[in-house]
Amino acid sequence: MAERLRRLLTPAIVLAALVGVGLLLRHEGSVAARALARADAVPPLLAALAANVGGLVLAVHAWRVLVPAPPGSAPGTPGPVRGLLAARIYFLGQLSKYLPGRVWGVVTHVTHGRAVGVPAAAMTSAYLLSLALTVLTGACVSLFAAPAVLPGQWFWLVLPVLGLLACLARPALATGPVVALARLARRTVEPPPDAAVRRAIALAVAAWLVSGLHLWFLAIALGAPAVSSAGPAIGAFALATVVSSLAVVVPDGWGVRELTIAAALAAALPDGTAATAAVASRVVCVAAELGSSAVVLALARARLGAPGTRTDADSGTLPTPAPASVPAPAPTPIGDSRVHP
């Protein structure tokens, strides 16, 4: 049953993503295309794509360090999900957001993790912990937009920063709720080491900052001042992504994210231009995600085989050498009184 689900899940996710992109380009792509159809807009557009891909790469690393090593491993042993395998699982999880609901991401992680020997509880806990840290770090990075969006009224937003600093000082504050939920479900989950949690937090912050640069490049292409628009753009993207992630019913927060970005960028751009930047951001993000996913899935299939096939490259371990063959004992002549070894 699990193998059949795994085989059906990947094409279903990819199909949903393609349908979603088609609808997006049909209704919104032409608006952004007309606004950015200039020769001088090409360098910022390419920079926006590169920034978004860079943020995705950092996000993959931020998640994979939370996948625990196999039980009984020596301290410091890296987790079993690395390299192309980690990228394949993460990008399939990303594409699953085009399906309504938020359950498909964890289903994707669990089914593909189980195929390489990672228990479902370990994959679920890593997914939930990564999601929690992503929301927390995104809320902190969104403070870059606060001075422009909420002048004189944004000091209460430092609460996410205090929460982040507390998790850095005591990672158990972040891992504790996940472990408690696992116990309620009668599952035993070994939380990742404190060093792994701190590293995941640092990588998640870096991912937000790098990926947020794409909106800044788009704002510059639309005529925003380079210096004063940097903070609002980076913060607006983080804020909009966090807010839209709470819209569970809407696939990938469509509409919610655009409204949030437009409102946050209104201080740096005119209202109509801010809305165009929000639409262009959606198009760039989708293009970066689909392009990166296509490359990763193609490379993973070529090097690792079809999803669900366990290989040494999947587990990240060196192949175990085959034991030396032991020559069979010579046959004992009939009538020999010696005992066979």
pLDDT tens-place string over residues 153-176: 667 677 888 888 999 999 999 888
How many Å apart are CA 33 and CA 21, to the nearest integer? 15
Q: Is residue 139 part of a domain?
A: yes
Q: Is residue 40 part of a domain?
A: yes
Structural domain for 243, as ranges: 2-306
The whole-number pLDDT of residue 222 equals: 85
The whole-number pLDDT of residue 146 equals: 78
Q: Which residues have CB under 8 Å from 315's CB, separation 6+? A: 80, 85, 116, 117
Task: Look at residues 235, 263, 213, 276 and name the one whose alpha carbon lies nearest to residue 31.
Answer: 276
Q: Is residue 320 part of a domain?
A: no
Q: Is residue 326 part of a domain?
A: no
Domain count, the chain: 1
The whole-number pLDDT of residue 48 equals: 95
List per-block mean pLDDT (blocks of 10 residues) for the chain, which spans 341 residues: 53 54 52 66 90 95 84 60 84 76 76 79 85 90 79 71 90 85 73 90 96 94 85 90 69 67 78 80 87 88 65 40 45 39 35
pTM for the full predicted model: 0.76
Q: Is residue 279 part of a domain?
A: yes
Q: Is residue 319 part of a domain?
A: no
Q: Which residues have CB under 8 Å from 122's CB, separation 6+? A: 67, 68, 113, 189, 190
Indicate the residue type of 67.
Answer: V
Q: Is residue 140 part of a domain?
A: yes
The whole-number pLDDT of residue 76 equals: 56
Report CA torsion sign: 104, 262, 60, 14: positive
Q: Is residue 334 part of a domain?
A: no
pLDDT, tens only, 93-120: 887 776 666 677 788 888 878 877 788 8
The whole-number pLDDT of residue 200 equals: 94
8 A C-beta contact, residue 124 and residue 105: no
8 A C-beta contact, residue 283 and residue 45: no
